[in-house]
């Protein structure tokens, strides 16, 4: 089931193009990493998905309808969470629950699940950044949305709070919630993403699964060889790509080199290291290709 279906989206704001020819699909239970430099159009796209902006060109469906038509089915956590500082944590969550027609039982459940029970009677002005972010995510989930839109959900959080946030997202995805995460925390989102949409100046620089982007990029792959005493450097097939205990090679050579390791050296315990998300981010935004990209040990 499609959660988002976007085709050739375009929008101009203040006479300046902000998005051009942006197309993608998001299915139920998938997590999309929305990436790009500041000003690339990420927040504009999120506002289109919320129905706050209307596209000038193209088509956009969210949960089978026009964006904004099913507000209780879409949860949203903005980059800068701004709540009433004098309100208590539980009081504020109950306020949003009343606006959404959600029971007090759901409020109590979320306070417990997000580790906020201990500060439920505490004014927000004395809460930590992590507690406010957890509260922001809790309010976004009050109505059990089918789609969750997150704009930099871990900005300013310590590692433990960030890890908690992504553990919560993993649990939501397993329940069928579709998630769009706009983030610069590439190492955090990489293990949990299903798709990547990388924007540059309002256009798609790259899109697809992580494996698809790794195949598209002309970046070196690596194989970390075991330190078992084998004389790898004497192998004429491996030697051109060998740097100490690591093979560094173009992706087209992976079948040949892996076959050589297994059949000639009987080696099956090597570590394959394809380009990670941070390397792909730099590659596609810089427009690097060909031998120059291969030589650079990113």
Q: Is 99 left (phi over 0), alpha (psi -120 to 50) or beta?
A: alpha
Task: Evaluate whether 273 touches 224 at the Cβ level (below 8 Å).
Answer: yes
The secondary structure element, H or E, covering residue 91 is: helix 89-100
Q: What is the pLDDT of residue 288?
A: 46
Fold classification of 27-53+71-208 is Rossmann fold (3.40.50)
* CA pair distance 214, 277, nearest whole angstrom: 9
**DSSP-based three-state secondary structure for 17:** strand
Q: What share of the chain is helix, strand, coil (3-state, %, to 5)?
A: 40, 25, 35
Of 271, 143, 280, 254, nearest in space to 200 by CA: 280
* CA pair distance 127, 19, nearest whole angstrom: 37
Q: What is the pLDDT of residue 290?
A: 40
* CA pair distance 49, 69, nearest whole angstrom: 11
* CA pair distance 146, 124, nearest whole angstrom: 28
Residues of the chain with pLDDT under 70: 287-298
**DSSP-based three-state secondary structure for 156:** coil
Of 50, 81, 46, nearest in space to 199 by CA: 46
**DSSP-based three-state secondary structure for 167:** helix
Would you state the structure tokens that stand for residue 210, as one six-digit string?
Answer: 């992580």
Q: Per-domain residue ranges for the chain?
A: 27-53+71-208, 213-295
Residues, the chain: 298
- Chain-centre distance of CA 5, in angstroms? 18
- Chain-centre distance of CA 25, in angstroms? 15
Q: What is the pLDDT of residue 294?
A: 38
Q: What is the pLDDT of residue 98?
A: 95
* Overall pTM > 0.85: yes
């Amino acid at each position: 089931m499609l959660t988002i279906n976007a085709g050739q989206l375009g929008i101009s704001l203040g006479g300046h193009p902000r998005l051009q020819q942006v197309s993608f699909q998001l299915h139920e239970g998938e997590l999309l990493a929305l990436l790009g430099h500041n000003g690339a159009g990420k927040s504009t796209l999120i506002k289109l998905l919320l129905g706050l902006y209307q596209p000038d060109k193209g088509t956009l469906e969210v949960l089978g309808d026009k964006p904004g038509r099913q507000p209780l089915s879409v949860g949203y956590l903005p980059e800068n969470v701004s709540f009433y500082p004098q309100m208590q944590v539980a009081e504020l969550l109950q306020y949003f629950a009343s606006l959404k027609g959600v029971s007090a039982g759901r409020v109590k459940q979320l306070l417990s699940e997000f580790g906020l029970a201990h500060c439920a009677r505490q004014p927000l002005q004395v809460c930590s950044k992590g507690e406010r972010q957890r509260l922001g995510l809790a309010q976004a989930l009050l109505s059990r949305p089918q789609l969750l839109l997150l704009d930099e959900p871990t900005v300013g959080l310590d590692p433990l709070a960030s890890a908690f946030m992504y553990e919560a997202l993993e649990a939501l995805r397993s329940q069928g919630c579709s998630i769009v995460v706009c983030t610069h925390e590439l190492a955090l989102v990489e293990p949990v993403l299903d798709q990547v949409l990388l924007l540059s100046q309002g256009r798609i620089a790259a899109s697809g699964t992580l494996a698809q982007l790794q195949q598209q990029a002309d970046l070196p792959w690596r194989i970390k060889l075991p330190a078992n005493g084998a004389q790898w450097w004497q192998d004429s097939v491996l030697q051109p790509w060998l740097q100490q205990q690591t093979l560094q090679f173009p992706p087209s050579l992976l079948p040949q080199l892996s076959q050589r390791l297994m059949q000639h050296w009987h080696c099956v315990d090597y570590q394959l290291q394809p380009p990670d998300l941070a390397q792909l981010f730099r590659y596609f935004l810089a427009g690097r290709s060909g031998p120059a990209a291969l030589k650079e040990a990113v």
